Each structure stands twice: as structure tokens, then as C-alpha cells.
């Protein structure tokens, strides 16, 4: 394929060299003539293992040529991959001016070409930027329509400096955020030589995967360092702790706990988060990340309550009360907090949870629920059908055994707040919390 790469920096140089090595015809574009001179000589303008050799090879074969002319590049390619910088502004917001400048240049040339061209954004950009700024700018400068006359894709890059060539050639997946099917099909052809899974989403979801990934990586480093700092104060070998921690591929290094849903709770997580934060504080170790976990969780519970309050419906049924399916443990269940808050505000609440049978609850669990919801026996019902008939708002808090049957009882006028992405069907007036 004929591909132009805009911005011959860390991402652009590696992408251009690797695509050229995959037998595509590449035109690299940059405004920095010094960089272009170096690349023309087969030398890398950045330090990156293996890149000098790869650039020398693809320049020699002619698979990669470079230019400072956006017009030449667009006229002679079917796809453009935009890899210019998107740095932070002073206030932390995303600086898109390089990106928008390139789009103006591309749009101006799109105006005069006959062939179908897909503009692909490899730069990291926030959700919304493509739809709100880039596409309107391309349409305005070209006088053409996205999705009809030209294509647009958001195609984030996941490579890491220092292992960029290997990351490019062996990515975890290829992510194509397509404006329309035809744009995505064309871009997918460029990646055909890379035998890895391809995920196709809408553009904003693709942008968000990139941000979720980098934020998670940053979170992991900060987490490991805070655990390490606490270990250090306690004279514990932090390297050993995290080595063993990482051996748990079932709960720790896995998909578990990474599905958006409702808040955590139960008799272990809240108390253990609290205890570690306290232990750190007690030893003067500052752990802002660990300290923020419970406030974040509480915020999530408040989000759910707010959604119910915003509707203003007084008759509410909550499906589920214990902190997760398969247990009757009510201790620190976030659903108990939701119930407590709604009752405090005068809402008429009924709760159905087949796993919570008051006569079978003992000890600390019983003490907890009697303290949190003193009139629990009046709130709990075993007649879900009867309760749902009078409901205006229904909160789905956990998966119950007969969930499909229960969802079949919902009526079109009811507002369903699905906290756990459970209901296959819900009335039009439904919402999810995340
Ligand atoms: N560096 C990484 O490891 C990495 C990894 C993944 C994603 N990203 C993202 O990729 C994007 C690029 O990052 P980078 O580190 O390669 O940036 P960079 O600053 O190294 O390179 C950007 C290049 O774009 C050129 N440029 C600016 N305006 C131009 C224009 N109008 N036409 C042509 N070229 C122009 C600059 O001269 C420069 O060479 C950013 O959005 C970044 O967040 C970076």
C-alpha cells in the first residue's frame, strides 16, 4: 500500500521504517529539514535500538522516501498516518495545535485528489477531538465529506521507546477506531502482514483504550512504589513481595476486577485498604494513591444514589443487598449504603435478595445490618413480582439467580438503574452507572 507518515519523531520514524519493511511504499513527512536530511542518509534522528539499520535498509531499497511536502505525500498515498506530537499545555490540557495544522494541510490537498484516501490519527488524542475538531476541519478545508469522499480512523500506537521496533512488529493487538466501515477496511489492509488480533471500534472508544492503557500503566508503577515504600519502612523485601504478588495470575495479574460495574465492598477489601493506609500513615509514609481508593469507591456509590435522586421517583425497588452474588454477607456492602441513603431521604424502598434471609443471618453480619438498616425486616421482601409492580425506579445491584425472569417483569414506564451491566433488556428509560 502507499502510506504517508506525518511527523518523523519517535512514533513516526519507527512506524515508517517498519511499514516500509513490510513492503508498503512509504513517504515520511516532517517540517524539520534536519531530521529529513538524516533519514535520507539512512540515519535515525532518534536513539532507538535497531532503527539505524532498518532505516538504512528501507532508504536503500527506496521503500521509504521523505519530504517536507504534505501535498506530494497525500497525492501519492492511499493512507496517511499522522504521528505528530500532542504534548501537555501548562494547565494539563492536550495541545492539539500540531495535529490541527497537519489536518489543514491534508484537507487542502484532499480537495484536489480523485482517489479515496484514509486519514489515520496515530497520535494520542482525547475522545471527542476527532469528531469535534479534526473531522470538521478536514471537511471544511477539503470541501468533501468524511465517510463518503475520504475516510478517517483513530489508530493509537502502543509502542514503547527502547523496544519500539519489536513492539511495532509484535503488538498486543491492532486497534482501529473507524469512522465508517470502508475507512476501517482500508486501514486493516495496511496491518494485514501483522498476525495479531484486530479490534475495530468507533473512534472515541479507540482513543479511550489508549488513555485507559497509559493511565493503568502509570497506576501500576505508582501502586508498586507505594507498596515498596511501606515495605521499606517495615523492613520487608519489596522486590520479593511484588514478585510473589505477580505470581497470582488469577486475581492480581488478570482480567479480574477490571470490568466497570458497581463499587467494591464486603468484609475484606474496605477494611484491608483502610488498615494499610493507616499503617503507612503511622510510619510517616505518604501513600496518596492507597489513601484515594476508599474515597474513589465512596464517590462511585454517591454517583448511583445521585442517579436515583435525579429521577425523583419515590418508590424504589433494589435487587440485591449483599456485596456480591453467592453470599449473604452484608458487611460494608455498597448496596446497604445506597439503601441507607435512600431511606434517610424518605424514599419508599423494597429490597429483594434471595440470598439474604434474616432468620439465617448471625453474628457480626447481623449486628452490622441491624445497625445500618434498623428496619431491615420491613424492607426485605420475598415477593419480587409484587414489589416490582409498585416500583417507579428499579436498582439492579447484583446478579440474582432468576435474573432473566425478573427482567421480564420490568415495565416500559419504569426507570432501571443497572449497576452491574446485568439486564439484557430494560425499559427505554434505563441507565447504567458506568
Ligand atoms: N513516544 C512514544 O513512545 C509514543 C508512544 C505511543 C504514542 N505516542 C504518541 O504519538 C504522538 C507522537 O509522539 P512522538 O514522541 O513520536 O513525537 P515527536 O515530538 O518525537 O515527533 C513529532 C514530529 O512531528 C513533526 N511535526 C510537527 N508538525 C508537523 C507538520 N505540520 N507536518 C509534519 N510533521 C510535523 C515534528 O517535527 C516531529 O518530528 C504523540 O501523540 C504521542 O503521545 C508516543
Is pLDDT at 432 greater than 90 in this prediction?
Answer: no
- Using alpha carbons, list the distances in angstroms from residue 415 to 109, 393, 430: 50, 5, 5
The total domain count for the chain is: 2
pLDDT digit string (tens) for 274-306? Answer: 999 999 999 999 999 999 999 999 999 999 999
Is pLDDT at 40 greater than 80 in this prediction?
Answer: yes
Closest C-alpha residue for ligand 1 atom 20? 9
pLDDT of res. 424? 74
pLDDT digit string (tens) for 165-194? Answer: 999 999 999 999 999 999 999 999 999 999
Cα 122 to averaged position of ligand 1 atoms, centre (Å): 9
Between CA 434 and CA 419 the distance in angstroms is: 8
What's the domain range around 121? 2-203
Q: How far is CA 395 from the centre of its chain?
A: 25
Closest C-alpha residue for ligand 1 atom 25? 7
Is pLDDT at 434 greater than 80 in this prediction?
Answer: no
- φ, ψ of residue 120 to 5 degrees: the values are -115, 130
Between CA 289 and CA 131 the distance in angstroms is: 33
Report which ligand 1 atom has the smallest distance to the Cα of 8.
39
Task: Give the pTM.
Answer: 0.95
Matching residue, cell 439503601? 339
Is pLDDT at 30 greater than 90 in this prediction?
Answer: yes
Pocket test of ligand 1: the residue of 12, 71, 85 to mutate, having most ligand atoms within 8 Å of its CB, is 85
Of 349, 333, 348, 319, the closest CA to residue 419 belongs to 319
Measured distance between the N- and C-terminal CA atoms of the chain, rounded to whole angstroms: 40
Pocket test of ligand 1: the residue of 12, 37, 84 to mutate, having most ligand atoms within 8 Å of its CB, is 84
Across residues 8-35, what is the average pLDDT?
A: 98
pLDDT of res. 364? 92
- The reply to whether 259 falls in a domain is no
Task: From 170, 203, 236, give the residue that closes a domain.
Answer: 203
Instruction: Enumerate the active-site residues.
Output: 268
- The reply to whether 415 falls in a domain is yes
Across residues 330-356, what is the average pLDDT?
A: 96
**Residues 112/37, Cβ–Cβ less than 8 Å:** no
Task: From 203, 220, 237, give the residue that closes a domain.
Answer: 203
Pocket test of ligand 1: the residue of 17, 36, 66, 83 to mutate, having most ligand atoms within 8 Å of its CB, is 83
Closest C-alpha residue for ligand 1 atom 19? 85
| Four-residue CA torsion sign, 4, 9, 15, 17 | positive
pLDDT digit string (tens) for 348-364? Answer: 999 999 999 999 999 99
Q: Which residue has the higher pLDDT, 433 or 414?
A: 414
Is pLDDT at 428 greater than 80 in this prediction?
Answer: no
Report which ligand 1 atom has the smallest distance to the Cα of 158.
6
My answer on whether 30 and 164 are in the same domain is: yes
Cα 415 to averaged position of ligand 1 atoms, centre (Å): 47
pLDDT of res. 333? 96
**Residues 398/414, Cβ–Cβ less than 8 Å:** no
Q: Residue 189: which residues within 8 A CB-CB, separation 6 or more?
A: 1
Closest C-alpha residue for ligand 1 atom 18? 9
Between CA 416 and CA 420 the distance in angstroms is: 12
pLDDT of res. 20? 98
My answer on whether 175 and 36 are in the same domain is: yes
Of 123, 146, 122, 150, the closest CA to residue 135 belongs to 146
Pocket test of ligand 1: the residue of 17, 30, 214 to mutate, having most ligand atoms within 8 Å of its CB, is 30
Cα 87 to averaged position of ligand 1 atoms, centre (Å): 9
Cα 35 to averaged position of ligand 1 atoms, centre (Å): 13
At residue 332, the 3 state secondary structure works out as coil
Inter-helix orientation angle 51-61/10-21, to 10°: 50
Widest Cα–Cα separation across the chain: 82
Which grid coordinates belong to 74? 497525500
pLDDT classification of 137: cutoffs 50, 70, 90: very high
My answer on whether 187 and 327 are in the same domain is: no
Is pLDDT at 431 greater than 90 in this prediction?
Answer: no
- The reply to whether 303 falls in a domain is yes
Hey, how many other C-beta atoms are within 10 angstroms of the C-beta on 214?
13
Cα 84 to averaged position of ligand 1 atoms, centre (Å): 3
Across residues 119-137, what is the average pLDDT?
A: 98
pLDDT of res. 422? 87
Buried b (16+ CB within 10 A) or exposed e, 127-160: bebbbeebbebbbebbebebeebbbbbbbbbebe
Q: Look over the chain and give the mean of its residue pLDDT values, rounded to a whole number.
A: 96
**Residues 156/209, Cβ–Cβ less than 8 Å:** yes
With residues binned 3-state (H G I as helix, E B as strand, rest as coil), the percentages for the chain, rounded to 5, are: 45, 15, 40
My answer on whether 25 and 167 are in the same domain is: yes
Report which ligand 1 atom has the smallest distance to the Cα of 161.
3
Task: From 203, 229, 261, give the residue that closes a domain.
Answer: 203
pLDDT of res. 423? 80
Cα 163 to averaged position of ligand 1 atoms, centre (Å): 17
Closest C-alpha residue for ligand 1 atom 44? 11
Inter-helix orientation angle 97-110/135-142, to 10°: 30
Is pLDDT at 314 greater than 90 in this prediction?
Answer: yes
Closest C-alpha residue for ligand 1 atom 12? 85
- The reply to whether 213 falls in a domain is no
pLDDT classification of 385: cutoffs 50, 70, 90: very high
pLDDT of res. 427? 79
**Residues 419/302, Cβ–Cβ less than 8 Å:** no
pLDDT of res. 226? 98
- The reply to whether 217 falls in a domain is no
Q: What is the CATH number of the domain that holds 386?
A: 3.40.50.720
The Cα angle at residue 201 between residues 196 and 202, in degrees rounded to 5 = 150
- The reply to whether 277 falls in a domain is no
pLDDT of res. 35? 98
- The reply to whether 18 falls in a domain is yes
pLDDT of res. 71? 98
Matching residue, cell 468524511? 146
Closest C-alpha residue for ligand 1 atom 5? 159
Length in residues, the chain: 434
- The reply to whether 158 falls in a domain is yes
Is pLDDT at 4 greater than 80 in this prediction?
Answer: yes
My answer on whether 188 and 322 are in the same domain is: no
Between CA 137 and CA 131 the distance in angstroms is: 10
pLDDT of res. 166? 97
My answer on whether 311 and 188 are in the same domain is: no
Ligand 1 pocket by Cβ (under 6 Å): 6-12, 29-32, 35, 83-86, 98, 101-102, 123-124, 157, 159-161
pLDDT of res. 31? 98
Sheet holding 431-432, edge to edge: 348-352, 315-319, 393-396, 415-418, 431-432
pLDDT of res. 33? 98
Of 157, 114, 111, 153, the closest CA to residue 135 belongs to 153
Q: What percent of the chain has pLDDT over 70?
A: 100
Amino acid at each position: 500500500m502507499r502510506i504517508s507518515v506525518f511527523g518523523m519523531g519517535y512514533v513516526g520514524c519507527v512506524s515508517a521504517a517498519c511499514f516500509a519493511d513490510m513492503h508498503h511504499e512509504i513517504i515520511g513527512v516532517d517540517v524539520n529539514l534536519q531530521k529529513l536530511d538524516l533519514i535520507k542518509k539512512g540515519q535515525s534522528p532518534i536513539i532507538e535500538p535497531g532503527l539505524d539499520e532498518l532505516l538504512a535498509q528501507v532508504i536503500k531499497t527506496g521503500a521509504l522516501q521523505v519530504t517536507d511536502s504534505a501535498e506530494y505525500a497525500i497525492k501519492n498515498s492511499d493512507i496517511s498516518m499522522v504521528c505528530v506530537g500532542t504534548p501537555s499545555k501548562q494547565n494539563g490540557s492536550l495541545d492539539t495545535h500540531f495535529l490541527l495544522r497537519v489536518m489543514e494541510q491534508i484537507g487542502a490537498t484532499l480537495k484536489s485528489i480523485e482517489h479515496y484516501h484514509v486519514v489515520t490519527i496515530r497520535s494520542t488524542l482525547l475522545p471527542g477531538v476527532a469528531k469535534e475538531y479534526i473531522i470538521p476541519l478536514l471537511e471544511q478545508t477539503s470541501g468533501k465529506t468524511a465517510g463518503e469522499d475520504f475516510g478517517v480512523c483513530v489508530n493509537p500506537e502502543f509502542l514503547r521507546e527502547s523496544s519500539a521496533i519489536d513492539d511495532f512488529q509484535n503488538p498486543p493487538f491492532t486497534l482501529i477506531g473507524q469512522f465508517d466501515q470502508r475507512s476501517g477496511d482500508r486501514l486493516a489492509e495496511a496491518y494485514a502482514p501483522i498476525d495479531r488480533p484486530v479490534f475495530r471500534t468507533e473512534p472515541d472508544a479507540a482513543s479511550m483504550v489508549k488513555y485507559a492503557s497509559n493511565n493503568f500503566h502509570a497506576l501500576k508503577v505508582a501502586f508498586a512504589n507505594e507498596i515498596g515504600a511501606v515495605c521499606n519502612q517495615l523492613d520487608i523485601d519489596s522486590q520479593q513481595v511484588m514478585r510473589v504478588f505477580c505470581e497470582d495470575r488469577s486475581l492480581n495479574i488478570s482480567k479480574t476486577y477490571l470490568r466497570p460495574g458497581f463499587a467494591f465492598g464486603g468484609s475484606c477489601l474496605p477494611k484491608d485498604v483502610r488498615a494499610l493506609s493507616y499503617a503507612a500513615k503511622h510510619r510517616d509514609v505518604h501513600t496518596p494513591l492507597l489513601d484515594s481508593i476508599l474515597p474513589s469507591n465512596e464517590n462511585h456509590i454517591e454517583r448511583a444514589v445521585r442517579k436515583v435522586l435525579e429521577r425523583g421517583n419515590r418508590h424504589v425497588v433494589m435487587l440485591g443487598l449483599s456485596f456480591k452474588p453467592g453470599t449473604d454477607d452484608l458487611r460494608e456492602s455498597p448496596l446497604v449504603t445506597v439503601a441507607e441513603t435512600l431511606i434517610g431521604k424518605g424514599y419508599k424502598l423494597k429490597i429483594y435478595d434471595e440470598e439474604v434471609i434474616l432468620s439465617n443471618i448471625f453474628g457480626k453480619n447481623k449486628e452490622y445490618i441491624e445497625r445500618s438498616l434498623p428496619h431491615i425486616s420491613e424492607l426485605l421482601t420475598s415477593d419480587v413480582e409484587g414489589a416490582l409492580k409498585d416500583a417507579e425506579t428499579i436498582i439492579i445491584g447484583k446478579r440474582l439467580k432468576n435474573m432473566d425472569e425478573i427482567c421480564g417483569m420490568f415495565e416500559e414506564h419504569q426507570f432501571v438503574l443497572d449497576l452491574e451491566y446485568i439486564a439484557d433488556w430494560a425499559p427505554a428509560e434505563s441507565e447504567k452507572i458506568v
